[in-house]
């Protein structure tokens, strides 16, 4: 992968509170957002899929609840987020509508990206929205997230989202134009790095502590995000977002730090399915299905002749032939009981059998690895 966003197909952009919200007034910087919307519209015109991960709910909401001038307790932040999120989403909706772009709001917790069942649901919803031409706007579901299940920072949330939807590019818009060998605000001879291919201990040592103010990030959380992105085969940029049109500037080669992965997103996802997940059961398939899988097709229920084990939707399962040979592994779109009920049936019959219209495929080809 190269150090540019010009060939991005699926792009996640993280927008921090400090860029979007004026700290003193708690107001959204609408001219800045309008300029960003121009950039997004340009990308959408070139058929780049764009997903926004935006902070700012707490920064916008606190003013309206009289929670200003002091650090907030967790429940006060959650209360602020509850009112701020409405205003935030409204601003995005209004400004992107000028470009005829439809915004769709998704609030996620850590669990939604880590638990496999929820992961599969969130992934399908986001990819469905992208297929329909919408711009998903994502934030942490601050009001329900407790201390233990919080992301706490949207840098990591954005990287998890990028991983979950197999995005090829993640841009963290920040108040600084990249990773420096030392904190450039302290003066001295700090140098910005152009490209990083691995987050080593030496790289980590370059990140100072989080800066003051209401943004929860800092370079440390950005490096955590970089680790997640790199392992998911997604390149990531830390770029300055303080000026108007930050994405256009990045396309035109504005200075930034790129983190470049060794693999492509789909390859990284398949490696994860092949290696990291323990199969919770298996699906036995007939010869016709085996031939179809070999041609790169998804596994349909019609080709399944047996279901073993007690697995949940989203769990990994082994794929076997009738003579017991394991030929691959994948994420099942159906729990074991449902898989048993629809095995051998046409996809068009799923709704009648189960009472709901699930996926046509029992294992989607993107969720399948053949041995």
Q: Kindly list the residues in this chain that would bind ligand GLU in the complex (CB under 6 A).
A: 17, 55-59, 81, 139-140, 142, 153-154, 215-217
Indicate the residue among 55 and 166 with the shorter CB distance to ligand GLU. Answer: 55
Alpha-carbon distances of 104 from 22, 27, 100, rounded to whole Å: 24, 22, 13
Nearest C-alpha neighbor of 18 from the set 346, 241, 201? 241
Indicate the residue among 56 and 328 with the shorter CB distance to ligand GLU. Answer: 56
Indicate the residue among 59 and 319 with the shorter CB distance to ligand GLU. Answer: 59
User: What is the nearest approach in angstroms of ligand GLU to the Cβ of residue 145?
Assistant: 9
CA distance 9 to 28: 29
Indicate the residue among 217 and 279 with the shorter CB distance to ligand GLU. Answer: 217
Strand order in the sheet with 281-285: 304-309, 281-285, 316-321, 326-331, 368-370
User: What is the nearest approach in angstroms of ligand GLU to the Cβ of residue 109?
Assistant: 11
Is the CB of residue 84 less than 8 Å from the CB of residue 58?
yes
User: What is the nearest approach in angstroms of ligand GLU to the Cβ of residue 125?
Assistant: 19
Is the CB of residue 185 less than 8 Å from the CB of residue 136?
no
User: What is the nearest approach in angstroms of ligand GLU to the Cβ of residue 23?
Assistant: 12
Indicate the residue among 53 and 237 with the shorter CB distance to ligand GLU. Answer: 53
Backbone angles phi, psi at 86, to 5 degrees: -65, -45
User: What is the nearest approach in angstroms of ligand GLU to the Cβ of residue 158?
Assistant: 9
Indicate the residue among 10 and 222 with the shorter CB distance to ligand GLU. Answer: 222
Indicate the residue among 81 and 318 with the shorter CB distance to ligand GLU. Answer: 81
Number of residues that make up the chain: 371
Is the CB of residue 181 less than 8 Å from the CB of residue 113?
no
User: What is the nearest approach in angstroms of ligand GLU to the Cβ of residue 72?
Assistant: 11
Nearest C-alpha neighbor of 13 from the set 296, 249, 349, 191? 249
- Write down the residue that tokens 């790169």 correspond to: 296
Backbone angles phi, psi at 356, to 5 degrees: -145, 160
Strand order in the sheet with 256-259: 103-108, 135-140, 49-54, 10-15, 169-174, 235-240, 256-259, 195-196
User: What is the nearest approach in angstroms of ligand GLU to the Cβ of residue 176?
Assistant: 15
């Amino acid at each position: 992968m190269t150090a540019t966003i010009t060939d991005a197909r699926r792009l996640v952009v993280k927008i921090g509170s400090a860029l979007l919200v004026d700290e003193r007034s708690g107001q959204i910087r609408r001219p800045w957002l309008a300029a960003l919307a121009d950039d997004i519209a340009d990308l959408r015109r070139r058929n780049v899929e764009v997903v926004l991960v935006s902070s700012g709910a707490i920064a916008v909401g606190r003013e309206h609840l009289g929670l200003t001038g002091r650090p907030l307790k967790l429940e006060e932040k959650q209360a602020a987020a509850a009112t701020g999120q409405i205003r935030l989403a409204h601003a995005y909706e209004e400004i992107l509508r000028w470009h005829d772009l439809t915004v769709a709001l998704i609030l996620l917790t850590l669990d939604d990206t880590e638990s496999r069942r929820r992961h599969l649901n969130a992934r399908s919803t986001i990819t469905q929205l992208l297929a329909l031409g919408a711009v998903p706007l994502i934030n942490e579901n601050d009001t329900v997230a407790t201390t233990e299940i919080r992301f706490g920072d949207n840098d990591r949330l954005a990287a998890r989202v990028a991983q979950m939807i197999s995005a090829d590019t993640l841009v963290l818009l920040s108040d600084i134009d990249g990773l420096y060998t030392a904190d450039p605000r302290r003066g001295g001879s700090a140098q910005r790095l152009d490209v990083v291919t691995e987050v080593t201990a030496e790289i980590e040592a370059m990140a100072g502590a989080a800066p003051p103010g209401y943004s929860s990030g800092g370079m440390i959380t950005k490096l955590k995000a970089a680790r997640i992105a790199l392992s998911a085969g997604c390149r990531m940029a830390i770029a300055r977002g303080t000026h108007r049109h930050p994405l256009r500037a990045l396309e035109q080669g504005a200075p930034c730090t790129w983190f470049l992965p060794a693999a492509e997103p789909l390859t990284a996802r398949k490696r994860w399915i092949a290696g990291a997940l323990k199969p919770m059961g298996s699906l036995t398939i007939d010869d016709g299905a085996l031939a179809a899988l070999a041609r790169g097709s998804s596994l349909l229920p019609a080709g399944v002749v047996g279901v073993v084990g007690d697995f949940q939707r989203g769990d990994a399962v082994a794929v076997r032939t009738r003579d017991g040979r394991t030929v691959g592994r994948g994420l099942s779109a159906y729990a074991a009981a449902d898989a048993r009920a629809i095995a051998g049936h046409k996809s068009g019959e799923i709704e009648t059998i189960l009472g709901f219209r699930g996926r046509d495929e029992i294992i989607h080809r993107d969720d399948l690895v053949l041995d």
